[in-house]
Amino acid sequence: MNENFNRLPKEERPYERCMRHGAQQLSNRELLAVLLRTGARGRTVLELAGDLLKLSPEKEGFTGLRRRSLEELSAVHGIGKVKAVQIQCILELARRMAREEAGKGVRFRTPAAIAEYYMEDLRHREQEVLLVLMLNQKGRLLRERYMFKGTVNTSVISPREIFLEALSARAVQIILLHNHPSGDVQPSREDMAVTRRIRDAGEMLGIRLADHIIIGERAYISFREENYL
């Protein structure tokens, strides 16, 4: 067992608690301590794990930790670039596992359901991203793909790339989602132009643009509901 854990009282050692009681009985701090393995000078691994979990006071726990950048994580005393990358990868793995489980056979019936499903993924991002959902005839999700990052505009977004993905997934309809970091969900002129361009390209290929949804701060707007499509 790692020397850093041996410095802890036996009843506080996460490895031993996990072996005795199972990983599900460990606290967030203990789980993170097992992954970190070592602490820092003057800080036990449990204390270091606690420091990390407090990086986002407004949202403690792994959800808040996942919002922290590589630079913010590695700035914590005892967390270098290597540990920061490991933490980000582990949290992303957990997010993808949860999304895969939740998304099995998911069918998006309303814009509100779609917005709720992707709200937490999109509303905290500091840059605009464009997410393309590829669906079958019955509206079941076949594939999701983040296609573009940065300002969503006609000079950046390529309908060709979007529809190559859609054709690869055998999709018959797509839904666009993108975020407004400002929190304001009202579409810009560029948003409208991009939507028309992708809609028109889809019509030629027989792949319908079913909706374009903009995510803001706990709010959304649907082009379909607003009759923009």
Per-residue pLDDT of the chain (229 residues; tens, 9 = 90+): 454 545 555 545 777 878 888 888 888 888 888 888 877 777 788 888 888 888 876 665 777 787 788 888 888 888 888 888 988 888 888 877 766 665 555 567 889 989 988 887 887 787 899 999 999 998 888 999 998 877 666 667 889 999 999 999 999 999 999 999 888 999 999 999 999 999 999 999 999 999 999 999 889 999 999 999 8
Q: Which helix (H) or strand (E) holds 143?
A: strand 141-149
What strands lie across the sheet with 208-215, from one edge to the other?
141-149, 129-135, 173-179, 208-215, 220-222
Which residue is listed with tokens 């030629």? 204
